[in-house]
Amino acid sequence: MKVGVLALQGAVAPHQQKLSGLGAVPVEVRTPAQLEGLAGIILPGGESTAMINLLKRNALWGPLREFLTQAPGWGVCAGAILLAKRVTHPAQESLALVDIEVARNGFGRQVDSFIDTLAPTAEWRGPAVEGVFIRAPRIAAVEGAAQTLLTWRNEPVMVRQGNLLAATFHPELTDSTVLHAYFLELCRK
């Protein structure tokens, strides 16, 4: 199964390693043509403003949005910002596909980065997992069809809406493959 990783900017290689380790074939996506034949795509962490500029420069904005209305996608950190319906701190445009509001850098600056255990909600049937937060956005509101899967200190940090996931932390930087395996299950359906 081929799974894309948006490879314009950001933490691409760690996601590729997780996917490969679970038997998937990671595909770097930089152009619309590279979306063909993918079972899903990960939008990795990085810098959301740079990603938006590069998506537009590579004529990928519209095709990616269309792809994500039909196939599974997982926005991680900056990728979650790209998927959110509303972005604040400061406001910026997004693909507006997941019913959440996110505040950019909501957990603080680089020096405020931390690692902690995340609590599962009733919607998450897996184990507690570790979250790595690096200049992470904060989910300010979960609305509509979005459901919280994982929390940190009772705050939502990972949500699911249909075939889309948004996580404000970096699961690719832990030893666990639980969340990547969960995403691959979405891709298999």
Identify the CATH number of the domain in which residue 95 sits. 3.40.50.880
Block residue for tokens 């509001």: 101
Cβ neighbours of residue 60 under 8 Å, at least 6 residues apart? 8, 29, 30, 31, 32, 54
pTM (two decimals): 0.95
Residue tagged active-site, from 172, 180, 185, 187: 172
**Euclidean distance between CA atoms 70 and 97, whole angstroms:** 11
Average pLDDT over the chain, rounded to an integer: 94
Q: What is the pLDDT of residue 180?
A: 97
Residue 77 annotated among the catalytic residues of the structure: yes
Question: Rounded to an integer, what is the distance from CA 85 to the centroid of its chain?
Answer: 14
**Catalytically annotated residue among 170, 180, 185, 187:** 170
Q: Single out the catalytic residue among 15, 47, 77, 143.
A: 77
Give me the percent of the chain exceeding a pLDDT of 90: 86
Q: Is 170 a catalytic residue?
A: yes
| pLDDT class of 165 with cuts at 50, 70, 90 | very high
Q: Please confirm, yes or no, whether 187 is among the known catalytic residues.
A: no
Q: Which domain holds residue 65?
A: 2-188
Question: What is the number of structural domains in the chain?
Answer: 1
| 33-85 pLDDT, tens digit each | 999 999 999 999 989 999 999 999 999 999 999 999 999 999 999 999 999 99
